[in-house]
Amino acid sequence: MSKQINVALIGNPNTGKTSVFNALTGLNQKVGNYPGITVEKKEGICKLPRGVKAHIIDLPGTYSLNASSLDENVVIELLLNKNDKDYPDVAVVVSDVENLKRNLLLFTQIKDLKIPTILVINMADRMEYKGISLNLDHLEEELKTKIALVSTRKNKGIDKLKELIATHKELSVEPCLDASSIDKAYFDNLRKAFPNQLLYKLWLVITQDVNFGKTDRTTFDKVEDFKTKSKADLKRLQQKETIKRYQFINETLKEGQSIDLKSAKDLRIKLDRILTHKVWGYLIFGIILLTIFQAIYDWSSIPMDFIDSSFASLSEWTKNTLPEGAFTNLLAEGIISGLGGIVIFIPQIAFLFLFISILEESGYMSRVVFLMDRIMRRFGLSGKSVVPLISGTACAIPAIMATRNIESWKERLITILVTPFTTCSARLPVYLIIIALVIPEGRVLGLSYQALTLMLLYLIGFGAAVGSAWILNKILKIKSKSFFVVEMPNYKLPLFKNVALTVLEKTKAFVFGAGKIILAISIVLWFLASYGPGDDFNNAENIVTEEYASESLSQIELEQKIASHKLEHSFIGIAGHAIEPAIRPLGYDWKIGIAIVSSFAAREVFVGTLATIYSVGSDEEETIKNRMAGEVNPILGGPLFNFASGISLLLFYAFAMQCMSTLAIVKKETNSWKWPMYQLVIMSAFAYLVALIAFQVLK
């Protein structure tokens, strides 16, 4: 049986590398991180002809092997380390038919590493539209490789690519050109000093300012001593190398590619004029956001109501069917209710990821980055900061990782510190349940009050991020200078497969990531709510029966009073009452206090916690929403979740740093506990103050 081969998928950003990866792997893929670093790692399995299996790694996008960011370092480190378990048997370089000249720079560099290399020319369906024709025989001869002309949109060329991967041993490993001629004497000396080493690999080690964490450096120990040239000299040689490569590429494309500009039909310039306009651009972006939030509410209401009632019925069925006892109560009141508090939000979270994925796939997100740079500059951020701030609407953790392509340390640090203000999908469950309880149903200009409230919370979060960035820019005394460069990819219709895989992958990660935490916390909370110390808990039945002896309560009412008394004197009730004086001025009771404290593990735990607490001892087949709506404020009377307490709670979660995972990633990215501790203290204090003012004014 054939052994599994390693395939590295490499290419410039926006060449459709992800589409090729999805076409090869389908659902056989997973997303993780490279060991020891927070750069995303995508890998999958592909079945090839002749019974061969390929392990495919989708490497981060890079323009060349001259790394300028941490994620580009990942590419170089893997290609230079033959001892790495993922070292490729074959490299697949993905290029875009419209930017072939620029994409081939990276291809010629990889060829110099003598790795069997296949060139994929993607987006072939656009050739006629753009007036492009290719002489593939000439290109294959000059580039000393095999070429797969691919259209992932029309699913063409993928079988040819699989065939080429399966027969990779037949590929030439001869370089396209002799790059060492840029300084023959220097490279000859280098070759003599290291006769057993690959020349281009040595050159990359000498010129890269890279920490090769996994690479075996013992063979390169003498390289440090061999740096006879200054940094400026090496930089000039790198520039010479790039010029030489482009000279070769230009010569190759003279005969290999022809472009008939007259037949190219391009709407891009006209669309860019509108979508990046200083007035219409912002207006269109605002309308798109409003439409997204309205759709999140309207489209997901039916599946959400179904999930809510299904979990309530399942909990009731479990209690009625299984034998009475602690295990049945744990299952019905702890596990099922806790998980119900997160599963209910799958439709809305899936829709949020769907819209973000469509914006990215269509090429519109790059226009938003360009558009927002005009605003960001005034607040000490760059246009590139918009990517983390927008991707922060999914989760702050990958958003903070995405700051790695910001060259200026000051801009990167500020972006890391303010990104948690952006409303992430973990806040969404909290917002949605509270908005449903305290914001009335109704519409203005076709938009519901609830959707407008949700959008306002997103804007408040974004405003807080930008405002705090302005303050940090004034306070932080870090000298740095940066230039804003963003690539504008072509507009294209999003591929259904790519969007579907993104939504599935991200929603699955959210549910399973949050699910583990919620399940564990639900079990702990159920135990703390179901047991308690002393006579007040153990003799609850006698105490309540005596207290209400004069009132003619029904059996159900009496059982509810007993359950309420037990909950109040349970371990969780005692802990809740201990923190109640601190949160009462905000309009919260001890139950909300417990939910706030437990949600520090993950914000979305808030709803699961309340679902667990309100389910303990409850025999009614009620949904979480109905139980929360029925809660009475013990001090003021009336509903606990009224307009004042609801707005206070929404604002608290809009500003509080309620996520230990985010704190951990900030520590890792800044290499210090100082910054996450500042975040925790300042954001929590600010959230408390704003929530306090809101409740006191509105009550």
pLDDT digits 0-9 by tens, 442-494: 888 777 888 889 889 988 998 999 899 999 988 887 766 555 556 677 777 88
User: Does the structure show a pLDDT above 90 at 56?
Assistant: yes
pLDDT digits (tens, 9 = 90+) for 597-610: 877 766 777 776 77
User: 521: left (phi > 0), else alpha (psi -120 to 50), else beta?
Assistant: alpha
Q: Is the pLDDT of residue 419 over 60?
A: yes
Helix (H) / strand (E) containing 369: helix 364-376
**pLDDT of res. 633:** 67
Q: When comparing pLDDT for 482 and 27, which is higher?
A: 27
What pLDDT, on the 0 to 100 scale, is given for residue 218?
52
Q: How far is CA 162 from the centre of its chain?
A: 30
Mean pLDDT of 198-212: 75
The terminus-to-terminus CA distance of the chain in angstroms comes to 73
Q: What is the pLDDT of residue 651?
A: 94
Contact 69, 482 (CB under 8 A): no
Locate 585 and state its tokens.
Answer: 């001025």
Q: Which residue has the higher pLDDT, 275 or 639?
A: 275
pLDDT tens profile 128-141: 777 888 999 999 99
Least confident of 276-285, 554-563, 631-640: 631-640
Among 17-26, 202-211, 480-489, which range has the highest average pLDDT? 17-26
pLDDT at 1 over 50: no
Pick out the residues of the known binding site for Mg(2+).
22-23, 25-26
Residue located via tokens 């829709």: 351
**pLDDT reported for residue 34:** 42
What contacts 481, CB < 8 A, 6 or more positions away?
A: 408
DSSP assignment of 324-341 equals SSHHHHIIIIIIIHHHHH
**What pLDDT is stored for residue 5 in this prediction?**
92
Positions at the binding site: 11-18, 22-23, 25-26, 36-40, 58-61, 122-125
- How far is 2 from 355, CA to CA, in rounded Å? 42
Average pLDDT over the chain reads 81
Q: How many CB atoms lie within 10 A of CB 440?
A: 8
HSE-up (13 A, CA, CB side) for residue 699: 21
| Mean pLDDT calculated for residue range 50-73 | 81
47 three-class SS: strand
- State how far the alpha carbon of 427 is from the alpha carbons of 160, 264, 625, in Å: 46, 46, 17
Region 314-319 average pLDDT = 86
Q: Which two tokens stand for residue 358?
A: 């469509």
Q: CA 474, 480, 481, 484: dihedral to nearest 10 degrees?
A: -80
What pLDDT, on the 0 to 100 scale, is given for residue 341? Answer: 65
| Torsion (CA) 610, 612, 613, 619 in degrees, nearest 10 | 120
> Residue 564 in 3-state DSSP?
helix
CA atoms within 13 A on the CB side of 513: 19
- As given in the structure block, the two tokens for residue 566 are 């037990």
Q: From the centroid of its chain, how far is CA 694?
A: 32
Q: Check: CB of residue 58 under 8 Å from CB of residue 9.
A: yes
Put residue 2 in one of left, alpha, beta given phi > 0 → left and psi -120 to 50 → alpha.
beta
- Report whether pLDDT(389) > 60: yes
Report the C-alpha gap between 121 and 103 in whole angstroms: 10
Residue pLDDT, tens place only, 669-694: 788 889 989 999 999 999 999 999 99
Distance CA 347, CA 25 (A): 26
| Residue 370: closest CA among 463, 473, 281, 240 | 281
pLDDT surpassing 80 at residue 504: yes
- The pLDDT of residue 63: 85
> How crowded is residue 468: how many other Cβ atoms within 10 Å of its Cβ?
19
The answer to whether residue 318 scores a pLDDT higher than 60 is yes
d(CA 269, CA 94): 25
List, in order of start, the domains of the chain with CATH numbers.
1-265 (3.40.50.300), 290-475 (no CATH), 515-698 (no CATH)
Q: What is the pLDDT of residue 10?
A: 93
pLDDT above 70: residue 619:
no
Q: Is the pLDDT of residue 120 over 90?
A: yes
Q: Which residue has the higher pLDDT, 695 or 619?
A: 695
Q: What is the DSSP letter of 52?
A: -
Binding-site positions for GTP read 11-18, 36-40, 58-61, 122-125
CA distances from 419 to 296, 403, 431, 547 (A): 22, 10, 18, 53
Alpha-carbon distance of 469 to 416, in angstroms, equals: 10
Residue 464's pLDDT is 92
Whether the predicted model's global pTM rises above the 0.85 cut: no
Asked if residue 82 has pLDDT above 90, the reply is no
Q: CA–CA separation, 523 vs 584, rounded Å? A: 27
**Res 48 pLDDT > 60:** yes
Q: Which residues pair with 53 in a beta bridge?
A: 47
pLDDT tens-digit series, residues 90-115: 999 999 888 899 899 999 999 999 99
Where is pLDDT greater, at 691 or 336? 691
- Across 49-63, 415-429, 448-462, 614-628, least confident range: 614-628
**Residue with more model confidence, 572 or 55:** 55
Is residue 566 predicted with pLDDT exceeding 60?
yes
Q: Give how far Cα 259 sits from Cα of 245, 246, 326, Å.
A: 21, 18, 75
SS3 content of the chain, % helix, strand, coil (to 5): 65, 10, 25
pLDDT for 127 equals: 83
Q: What's the confidence (pLDDT) of residue 561?
A: 77
C-alpha 64/C-alpha 204 separation (Å) is 11
Contact 548, 561 (CB under 8 A): yes
Q: What letters, b where the CB count within 10 A reaches 16 and e where it falls short, cover 671-692?
A: eeeebbeebbeebbebbbebbb
Q: Give the C-alpha separation, 328 to 618, whole Å.
A: 13
* Cα dihedral across residues 546, 547, 548, 550: positive or negative: positive
Which of 483, 484, 279, 489 is closest to 367 using CA atoms? Answer: 489
Alpha carbon of 204 to those of 228, 389, 442: distances in Å? 15, 34, 63
Residues in the chain: 699
Taking only the tens place, the pLDDT of each residue in 207-221 is 875 544 444 445 555
* Average pLDDT estimate for 405-423: 84
